[in-house]
Chains A and B, each alone.
Chain A
Amino acid sequence: MRLRFFREVPNFDFFRLQWATLGFSGALVVLSLVAWALIGLNFGIDFRGGTTIRTQSESAVDVGTYRQAMTPLELGDVTITEVFDPTFAENQHVAMIRIQAQDGQESVTQDTIDRIETALRAVDDTISFPLVESVGPKVSGELIWTAVLAVGASLAAILFYIWLRFEWQFSVGAVAALAHDVIVTIGIFSVLQIRFDLATIAALLTIIGYSINDTVVIFDRLRENLIKFKTTPLRDLMNLTANETLSRTLMTSGTTLLALIAMLILGGDVIRGFIFAITWGVVVGTYSSIYVAKNIVLMLGVKRDWSKPDNNQGNQFANVDA
């Protein structure tokens, strides 16, 4: 017995709620932007400078005691959070301590770190420091720009590539879907206050890559159907395309999610934020391929007569499958 999502090509009307879904996506984007503006992102030290110290101890973490031990050091803003993870051993208690960038220093001096470590050892003698990271404000400023540049460059490159391979309407639809995915992911990071650092940017770019993958597969099928059924209304064609590719979309998202969820649960807390972003992005990206990218193409309309290659256009490769 095979595991199948659908026996035959399903026949859902994806665009019955065209305006509702587009409105929902729009609302999500707006909400995300509002959350971003009001709550703000919980930037890691990569982007705002400072030091993080990961502590590991055999006795339970008491945030209050840690804080008290560090107060006399006058380090300014200190955040201490305990970390819980199913992969930890029973007597493994982990906390993350974050210290703001110190005035007049780039990375925090060894002196400061030594003082912190001594102070903490005084209250907990089994404590060890498996991770100490320090980023100066100079570098963190640059890292923000690199990150913005990376996301921008990716969107631009994709806009260009899709335009080259398809039509500009597809390009706009695809990039709108990608922007939607990125913004909504930033939104959830603001709301849940998950640490946002360089790895998160990598995750965002991966989401872009995954989501475009999904969108392109649907577009490719749409292009094929546009040639096959020259007179069918665009809306029906889109529905047909979405239904035809639905099985594949669910299969691929399913396997990817399967792998990601395994990593999310078992991969340890160090990369949990990173994996969470990608997992979230796969869900959002799958949704946006249908409900954002295609909705926009539907609104913009596309060239219908693909029988005569338009020589003036010059932006169309020979079809690989022709």
Chain B
Amino acid sequence: MLQIDLWKRVVIWGLCALGLLLALPNAFYTRVETSNDAVAAMETGASGAGLEEQAALWPSFLPSGLVNLGLDLRGGAHLLAEVQVEDVYEARLQGMWPEVRDLLREERDDIGTIRLQKSKGPMLRVRLNQKPEMAERAAELVRGLARPVVSLTGAGASDIEVAVDGADIVITLSEAERLATDERTVKQSLEIIRRRIDEVGTREPTIQRQGSDRILIQVPGVGSASELKDIIGTTAQLTFQPVVTRTNNADMPPGAGNELLPSLNDEGVYYVLEQVPVVTGEELVDAQPSFDQNGGPAVSFRFNTSGARKFGDYTAENIGNPFAIVLDDEVISAPVIQAHIGGGSGIITGSFSVEESTNLAVLLRAGALPAGLNFLEERTIGPELGADSIEAGKIACIVAFAGVLVFMMLSYGLFGVFANIALLVNVGLIFGALSMIGGTLTLPGIAGIVLTIGMAVDANVLVFERIREELRTAKGPARAIELGYDRALSAIIDANITTFIISVILFTLGSGPVRGFAITLGLGILTSVFTAIFVTRLLIVMWFERRRPKTIEV
């Protein structure tokens, strides 16, 4: 009796040592962080004596994983954005118009002339001016343009639906195509937001998709949510569009296929532009901040081959006409084409500040967001508040810890000391596990650890109380200890499984700080059961083997 196999002992000590080793870097947080940053910088190609010195601050043979600090502890910005997926439908349909127009014009003998009608919502409404009775035939022709939807769920469906409404044919996107488009839009947005934030180079941003059309962005170290929004909130949809006319009338009807857009710099000036752009920002390969002939900040850009060809052809055909450079539905400038621009590169001038031109270059390089973002939730947490919270949390932890240690020792004497050692190991293990899985520590997470400190002793209390009882009836202390552990086990297991269920539910449904709490609570339950059942037991058995006491006092 009271035996623990050698291999079990090795495993128990091994796990403890591993956990504590993994937790070790957190004790030297800033030091390890500096070192990690330096190593990461060197991996990307940077070098320098300073970097190597910093990297050497933490020996490379030791684990260097750290517990991530949540936004509420480190400070930073949190945004929940909804991608306005509907934006894309309209652009997608408008992109089809030239194709539809050309197709129907070819059949002019059969169906007469056509005209694009103004319509509300994402649809193309085409009126047959002369032969309304041929609408069905025209719809049939347009249906021929439909392509199969490429997606997992929409297999077999085609991308557009064409209906006849009197003399009009109405083209809309099919349900399957919409879903597929949504999916693409959100994925693309996610990727572009990631690129933009990486360009600015902040540490450990969290960029996650949430639900079908939302994106969660958390960036530590950013001064405020508005700074973050300036970087990611701009669509940066750059287009080059032919100019129809320039006007001061904000209510001027632009006519079908055209749009009226304001000038960015000159108030009260509007341009009527053709809706279908010559070239878009998607065909840019590079954009850099630079200066124009007068020394004003500007952005120079270069097109890819197809963009360069389109741009070259257009400028060759339209010398003397103005064209507009449009960014997010505002006309940056509308220069007159002086000569054929064949090289595929150009420069955008406007009244920029240096900062604006740098930002614009970043945005253009990263690519345009396919759709606008609507911000549902935004939080800015100042770094000083986080530092205060860490400080308060630390003090509370230490006090809680000291209180529990003293209380346990007073209540259970030597056995209390064993439980206390296990408790210390337990907290080490929680940090080790958090570092290993790259978990995030939040303010409620610290509360979770404090709560775990309180509750971790529960399993030990159960066992010790049980041993006390068994001592009254059992034969000899060894038997009492063994029975104490055996009989307390079912209560420990049941009690902890129920709490664990709660932490899983919290993790699944919660977000942000609450999730951080769920992680520490869940991990705390696992480690506390381990330390209470195995570590204290091993400690007691080792003590017992050495001393062989005739009686024990618990």
Contact = CB atoms under 8 A, between A and B. Distances in A.
A255 B505 contact: no
A216 interface: yes
A107 interface: yes
A220 B454 contact: no
B501 interface: yes
Interface of A: 2-4, 9, 54, 56, 87, 106-107, 110, 113-114, 128-136, 138-139, 146-147, 149-150, 153-154, 157-158, 161-162, 165, 198-199, 201-202, 205-206, 208-210, 212-214, 216-217, 219-221, 224, 244-245, 247-248, 251-252, 254-260, 262-263, 265-268, 270-271, 274-275, 278, 319-321
B529 to A, nearest CB: 12
Interface in B424-477: 443-444, 446-447, 450-451, 453-455, 457-458, 461-462, 465, 469
Nearest to B226: A110
Contacts of B378: 107, 132-134
A217 B229 contact: no
Contacts, number: 234
A34 to B, nearest CB: 28
Interface residues of B, number: 76
A57 to B, nearest CB: 13
Given A130-B381, A150-B505, A271-B443, A213 B496 contact: yes
Interface SS of B by simple majority? helix
B458 A213 contact: yes
Contacts of A206: 451, 502, 517, 521
B384 A106 contact: no
A132 B385 contact: no
A154 B502 contact: yes
A130 B509 contact: no
Contacts of B411: 2-4, 251
Contacts of B509: 146-147, 149-150, 153
A216 B494 contact: yes
Given A107-B377, A260-B451, A320-B489, 16 more contacts: A131-B381, A132-B225, A134-B377, A136-B375, A162-B498, A198-B513, A199-B514, A205-B506, A216-B498, A251-B411, A255-B403, A259-B404, A278-B451, A320-B490, A321-B489, A321-B490
A219 B494 CA distance: 10
Interface SS of A by simple majority? helix
A106 B214 CA distance: 14
A256 B454 contact: yes
Contacts of A154: 501-502, 505
B231 to A, nearest CB: 13
A106 B486 contact: no
26 contacts: A107-B375, A130-B381, A133-B379, A136-B377, A146-B509, A153-B505, A153-B509, A202-B517, A205-B505, A205-B506, A212-B495, A224-B487, A252-B457, A252-B461, A255-B457, A257-B454, A259-B400, A259-B404, A259-B450, A262-B400, A266-B392, A266-B395, A270-B72, A270-B389, A274-B447, A321-B490
